[in-house]
Amino acid sequence: MRPLEDIRIVSLEQYGAGPFGSMHLAELGAEIIKVEDPSAGGDVGRTVPPYAADGDSLFFESFNRDKSSITLDIRTEEGRAVFHDLVRTADAVYSNLRGDVPAKLGIRYEDLKGVNPQIVCCSLTGFGMTGPRSEEPGYDYVLQALGGWMSLTGEPGGPPQKTGISLVDYSGGYVAAISLLAAVHAARRDGVGTDCDVSLYDTAVSLLTYPATWHLTAGFEPARTRHSAHPSLIPFQAFEAADGWLVVGCAKEKFWRRLVAVIDRPELADDPRFATFADRARHRDVIVPLLEEAFRQRSVADWLKPLYAAGVPCAPINDVAGALSDDHTVSRELVAETDHPAFGRVRTVRSAVRVGPPGDDRAPTRGAPAMGADTDRVLRELGYDDDQITALRDAGALGEERWTSA
């Protein structure tokens, strides 16, 4: 058995952040019943270009492996009754909607505790369910701007930039998954469920970590650094070689001594200007150009071999293709392969969450579900017969307008 095979989650999720969080739980064995609205095409992620076909997309495939999909409008009387039947059998209701929408849809603990006193209601919203921005929609770009991230990203003097991928969304998914699991644990222990008020805004601000501590405590003013340099550990940055770029990092003094030997400048280890991190920071304008000139003399491959041999932390700056084809990616089984009627063999990236002995911790994975593929099965498991299912469809309980995203 996988670790979470005894957990059932009813998920009102869409697009990226919410589905990303629940996909990790699904890979660990949790049953994710994904509620979709057919009148709006289901999860909006199904239509994200450029690779979209037949009501599905490679974007959607990236976030929804190992889940089930049903169609249900919980705002109809009939749909609400079905939803309550699902809640009675579930450990958690999970959503990523705007902060005021959980109350409007009646998916908070206060709304559902009479149905299931142990239910956990985990809401991943843009700004949380309290505070002056709680009713605003939240998207990764917006949160990277508000959270200070863009002011730290890019070259000094250039425009502020976002990270290359939607890290606030994905980090928010991880935070929601952790919160949900903690709340389910407490509910099973205490017999009482709760809300989890998780937000992308909280996630973005919390990830400021030590620059925030430095600023709040000592008045440090964070700023962008040239070539992605660490603000205090020198050298720890990107360097241009003769044919590309690599990262070299001396996070400990021993690495500095090894580095100067590799670049054939052992005398730098005894230079008092560069003896410690603090000394090198004070003489940054001297030591960094010297290192840059040295690295430009040889290719990336020619540098990596002696750096690896010396135990100096380093890496080539891969493109996406290079990262996905790296021997370590293959060895760690980080790529999943599933079949799809429109896209053929779909290859996606697996979860980094792992439980089990090394080398024996990967269970088979299923592709993302077609919209509503599991509706009849799930309803029958709840005790509905064919006539009742037909009546639900006739009443419009299996689809109306969609919800507002976080």
Q: Give catalytic residue positions.
A: 230
C-alpha 68/C-alpha 371 separation (Å) is: 9
* Longest alpha-carbon distance in the chain: 85
Q: Which of 164, 340, 311, 194 is nearest to 248 (CA)?
A: 311
List the strands of the sheet with 314-316, edge to edge. 236-240, 245-249, 314-316
Q: What is the DSSP string of 17-75?
A: HHHHHHHHHHHTT-EEEEEE-GGGTSSGGGG-SSSEETTEEHHHHHH-TT-EEEE--TT
Alpha helix positions (H), 247-334: 253-262, 277-282, 284-295, 300-310, 320-325, 327-331
Q: Name beta bridge partners: 123.
A: 95, 197
Question: Which H or E run includes 215?
Answer: helix 209-218
